[in-house]
Chain A
Amino acid sequence: MSTVLTEAPAARPASKKQPFVLKGVMQAPVTPLHDDFSVDYDGLEKMVNFHVVNGAPAIAWPHHKAESPNLTMEERKKGAEVLIKTVARRVPVSIFVGSLSEEDSLDLARHAQKAGADMLLTISPYCRRPTQEEIFHSIVRIGTHTDLSVLTYNSPWRNGEGVEFTSELVQRLIERLPNYIGVKDASFHSEKFTEISRVALRMRPGFSIIMGLEHLLASYPLGACGSFSSCGAIAPNLCNRFFAALEANDWDTARACQYKITRLYRLFKDQYPSSLKGAMISMGRNAGPIRPPLPTASKERVEFLCRQLEELDVINTEPHGW
């Protein structure tokens, strides 16, 4: 049944006052690796610190950009601990607990709470075309398993693949879970976004709709509060300038920033996050190789990316080194 065919839902505030506000271009660090592909935890510390020092309003790890499907459970737990310790409450921390197995997600959720995270980002296990009912039960299981605030990851793909949170599903989850505080939205689609925003923001004012990447310009006027970043490891100044322009309703500046970010994302999209790590080398922040089956950026690719960053005037306008 469609949301609009039922009575308008009553507002349901979150159970307790959320101690943090999610707003701005939030950073989701890559996972630095040694040449032997082991996780470089010292590098992760540097990476996280770089983001916080350069204005990240929140830190989220390990998103797909951090190669989360290629990390072991132990690596994800240890990485979360390093991250939380490094951030040291300077900004809120979100830990992604999505995985192929729901039992692993529950384990990661328990660990994140114990380690001191501020919130979880979760999704029903993917690669199996879950129904809306299955997604609902999955999220309720995780959401009632933790005291942390919960974000869900809306990731619809073409042709019904992916895990889609419709407005009806978001409504049911807000009714069911007092700790459900927001969505990471990767629909990047006017109709799908507005369906969620108009329902969720009326039911739970302050509900955080965070764009999955910085495709934020189209959704900001309709209530998106920020984004998780694709290019913050390269161009944090650009990210911060973009969000400041949005807040000021300076649309010309915001457009110029969005167009540049979109061009950057197109560069990084090739075997994402392989090209992103490749581009980081030119910025003096080598985060090492990429775990197979994804390829590590070749020398030629790194050189190409460097030329592109020069052409986009990123090299001279963004911070170098850690």
Chain B
Amino acid sequence: MSTFKPGLVHVPVTPFKADQSIDFDLYTKILEYHLKNGADSIAVPMQQAEDVSLTEIELRQVIEFAIKQVKGRVPVIAHVSDPGTGIAVERARFAEKAGASAIASHPPYFWHPKPSMVVEHLVQVGSATGLPFFICTPVVEDAGTHLTGEMVLEVVQRLDNIAGVVDSSMRFVFMAETVSNGREIRPDFQLLSGTDFMVPNAAVGGAGAFSPLSSVAPKLARRIYELCMKQQLVQARTLQEDMAELHHLVKQGGRAGLKTAMRAMGRECGDPRLPGLSLGEPAMSQLAARVVACPYLSAEPRGW
């Protein structure tokens, strides 16, 4: 059983140039921003990094580049989800050799395999390396077979290096069943929030989070995280509501929302890669204006 505890995990976006290539100079700035602003760990390339829009070569480049740039200052978690089991397995092995500290993967997108096959997929990806392994719930739940508590339990029973679940489903029942069943088998089993809704996750017994909005409001994320770690959950309510409002606002911008909000905070990261589209004007300026007007963002860092 893994004892690796990722803490508050930042999930950097992937910046692209106008010619659609990855802007690695800007990516360096992004990684340094996260290190400077409280990342306990960094996970690349998560869904917010447009992982599904990256080629196999780019996925490996991003993992390798992040590990080299971070230089061991914090652990780097490699996200290797893929519709094909063999492809995900090979990418996990690559990440281990490159120096990743842990592997994360969700059930395969696109296919709708039977639950037993999803379990097999996750077991194969998890056992491809000796690193701690986190199962992620897919951000788009209907893009594959739903991950259930029973499926998680089977993986926990079969994988010695299972570390926990990163939950983006936000479903109370799944969260409670996952953490309670997982801990019956492995006392160190972790439930991390895959979103910035950390309070409900902490209430059911989770700890830690993969925080997409740390790209916009790292101080707010840290404050909520600290209160959750101290079990001051009721006290965290107002901050969680602020974060929920920011989440709701960014969501209005669809795939371009997060990069638009980052731009509003003085951190220009370009547009999403095609087929993702820029919000365009006037929507982009309107969303940016609303972000900067949020009173709870006044203490957040501007620029890099």
Known: A190-B195, A259-B180. A198 touches B172 (CB 8 A): no
Known: A188-B171, A218-B175, A262-B173. A223 touches B237 (CB 8 A): yes
Within 8 A of A (CB), among B217-258: 231, 233-234, 236-237, 240-241, 244-245, 247-249, 252
Contact of A219 among B142, B172, B173, B241 (CB under 8 A): B172
In Å, the complex CA distance between A195 and B175 comes to: 19
Q: Within 8 Å CB of A251, what residues of B?
A: 203, 231, 233
Q: Within 8 Å CB of A15, what residues of B?
A: none
Binding site for B on A (CB under 8 A): 2-5, 158-159, 188-195, 197-198, 215, 217-223, 249, 251, 254-255, 258-259, 262-263, 265-266
Q: Within 8 Å CB of B197, what residues of A?
A: 190-191, 194
In Å, the complex CA distance between A3 and B246 comes to: 12
Q: Is the CB of A218 within 8 A of B172?
A: yes
B144: CB under 8 A from chain A?
A: no
Shortest CB-to-CB span from A176 to chain B, Å, is 22
Mostly, the A contact residues are: helix
Other contacts beyond A3-B248, A188-B173, A190-B201: 7, CB < 8 A = A5-B290, A194-B200, A194-B240, A195-B248, A217-B203, A249-B233, A255-B205
B1: CB under 8 A from chain A?
A: no
B204: CB under 8 A from chain A?
A: yes
B26: CB under 8 A from chain A?
A: no
Contact of B244 among A191, A215, A218, A259 (CB under 8 A): A191
Shortest CB-to-CB span from A127 to chain B, Å, is 21
In Å, the complex CA distance between A3 and B248 comes to: 9
Contact of A222 among B177, B200, B205 (CB under 8 A): B200
Shortest CB-to-CB span from A206 to chain B, Å, is 15
Please list 18 pairs of residues, one from A and one from B, whose beta carbons are closer than 8 Å in the complex, sorted by A's number: A2-B252, A4-B248, A158-B142, A195-B244, A198-B245, A215-B172, A217-B204, A218-B203, A219-B172, A221-B200, A222-B241, A251-B231, A258-B176, A262-B173, A262-B177, A263-B180, A265-B173, A266-B177
Known: A215-B172, A259-B180. A198 touches B241 (CB 8 A): yes
Number of chain B residues close to chain A: CB under 8 A = 31
Q: Is the CB of B180 within 8 A of A191?
A: no
In Å, the complex CA distance between A270 and B57 comes to: 47
Mostly, the B contact residues are: helix
B248, closest chain A residue (CB): A4
Q: Within 8 Å CB of B201, what residues of A?
A: 190, 218
A159, closest chain B residue (CB): B142
Binding site for A on B (CB under 8 A): 142, 170-173, 175-177, 180, 195, 197, 199-201, 203-205, 231, 233-234, 236-237, 240-241, 244-245, 247-249, 252, 290
Known: A2-B248, A5-B290, A220-B203. A189 touches B172 (CB 8 A): yes
Shortest CB-to-CB span from B164 to chain A, Å, is 16
Q: Within 8 Å CB of A189, what residues of B?
A: 170-172
Q: Within 8 Å CB of B203, what residues of A?
A: 217-218, 220-221, 251, 254
Known: A5-B252, A194-B244. A262 touches B176 (CB 8 A): yes
A216, closest chain B residue (CB): B172
Q: Within 8 Å CB of A219, what residues of B?
A: 172, 200
Shortest CB-to-CB span from A21 to chain B, Å, is 18
Q: Within 8 Å CB of A192, what residues of B?
A: 170
Q: Is the CB of B176 within 8 A of A217?
A: yes
Contact of A221 among B170, B199, B245 (CB under 8 A): B199
Q: Is the CB of A191 within 8 A of B195?
A: yes
Query: 4 tightest CB-CB pairs across the interface, nearest first?
Result: A218-B200, A221-B233, A190-B197, A190-B170
A215, closest chain B residue (CB): B172
Shortest CB-to-CB span from B171 to chain A, Å, is 6
Q: Within 8 Å CB of B200, what residues of A?
A: 190, 193-194, 218-219, 221-222
Shortest CB-to-CB span from B63 to chain A, Å, is 29
Q: Within 8 Å CB of A3, what residues of B?
A: 248
Q: Within 8 Å CB of B177, what residues of A?
A: 262, 266
A189, closest chain B residue (CB): B170
Q: Within 8 Å CB of A158, what residues of B?
A: 142
Known: A4-B245, A259-B176, A259-B180. A218 touches B204 (CB 8 A): yes
Shortest CB-to-CB span from B174 to chain A, Å, is 9
B184, closest chain A residue (CB): A259
B238, closest chain A residue (CB): A198
In Å, the complex CA distance between A258 and B206 comes to: 14
Shortest CB-to-CB span from B127 to chain A, Å, is 29
In Å, the complex CA distance between A193 and B236 comes to: 16
Q: Within 8 Å CB of B199, what residues of A?
A: 221-222
In Å, the complex CA distance between A48 and B175 comes to: 32
A191, closest chain B residue (CB): B170
Q: Within 8 Å CB of A255, what residues of B?
A: 180, 204-205
Q: Is the CB of B173 within 8 A of A221?
A: no
Shortest CB-to-CB span from A262 to chain B, Å, is 5
Shortest CB-to-CB span from A249 to chain B, Å, is 6
Q: Within 8 Å CB of B142, what residues of A?
A: 158-159
